Structure formats: C-alpha cells, structure tokens
Amino acid sequence: MTASRTHTVIDSPIGELTLVNTDGMLSGLYMSDHQPAPDATTFGPQTSEGFDEAVGQLREYFDGTRTTFTFPIAPVGTEFQRTVWTALRAIEYGTTSTYGEVAASIGRPTAVRAVAAANARNPLSIIVPCHRVIGSGGRLTGYAGGVERKQFLLEQEARIAHAPTPS
C-alpha cells in the first residue's frame, strides 16, 4: 500500500519551511535552499490539514516557549541514520555536541564521518536538532539550511536556555 503524503509551507524567522506529512506523521521539514535538495515531487498535494500540532509547536519553538517537540514523527532512513537521529534528539535544548560525541553516544566512536553523513541526511531539521551538532573545537560546520540559519537557531536556543527565570 502506498503512503499518503501531503505538505504545507509556513513562514518562520528563518524563512519558509516545508512540512511533509506521511500517513498522519511528520516525515519531513525542509528549509528553502535546503541542501541536499529534497525531491519536492514526492511531497504530495499541498494542504494545511493535518499540520496543526506541528505548526503550533514550531511557532512556540520560534517564540521561545517550547524546547522539545512532542508530535509523532516518521523520518525515513537506514537503521544507522535513525540511530543517529535518535541520539540527536537527546542533545538538550540550548547545548551543542560534536560529531565525535554523537558517535561515542551511539557506541560507534570511530564512526564520526558516518555520523556526519547521517546528520546531513536528517529529513526533520529543527525537530531532530542536527543544528546542535558542531565540529570539534566549536566550529559551526555545514547545515542543510546554511550555516547562517544554524547560527540563528543556536543563538536563539542559548538566549532562551540561559535567560533568567522570573521569580
């Protein structure tokens, strides 16, 4: 049976985001100029139906009131990629990790390049926070939406995570 796919496009502080829904679960989140570019012909028809929860939580994230996402996701990838993507979701909001640290966290400390490749193929940018992975020495390395977007997301998260809590 063929999966039912639809998509919607929303505005955000980092530009338009395309969200893809497969059988009721978010399976893709892509930025304009996303590299590698996804095959938009596979997104299905455009509609706003079925995206309320994801759109609402993304708005809260960009407003600084949400630090985790709780809606169902269905990223498609190899077993290794899905393992890496699960590890990315464990990186706390407002913090970063290196490719080597992610590789070590999945029990594959020598698989740094494979982790980087899986990171680059993440179909759910922001939701699966690949932007929180940086190069050794703190360098901001490649990001599917561009290093400027990665820097924006990291700076926003750091500002919110380290803001004083009201007493």
Q: Which of 37, 63, 89 is the last residue of a domain?
A: 63
Distance between alpha carbon 90 and the CA centroid of its chain, in Å?
Answer: 12
Residue of 14, 130, 144, 153 marked active site: 130
Compute mean pLDDT per 10 residues along the chain, 167 residues long, and list them.
87 96 94 86 92 97 95 94 97 95 96 94 95 88 86 94 71
Give the pLDDT score at 165.
Answer: 65
Q: Flag whether 73 is in a domain.
A: no
State the CATH number of the domain containing residue 141: 1.10.10.10
State the CATH number of the domain containing residue 53: 3.30.160
Give the pLDDT score at 1.
Answer: 59
Identify whether 43 is a catalytic site residue. Answer: no
Contacts with 130 (C-beta within 8 Å, 6 or more apart), sequence order: 88, 119, 120, 122, 143, 144
Give the pLDDT score at 3.
Answer: 77
CA distance 12 to 10: 7
Structural domain total, the chain = 2
Residues 102 and 154 reside in one and the same domain: yes
Give the pLDDT score at 39.
Answer: 87
Determine the structural domain holding residue 58 and report its residue range: 5-63
Single out the residue of 52, 54, 46 nearest to residue 5, CA to CA: 46
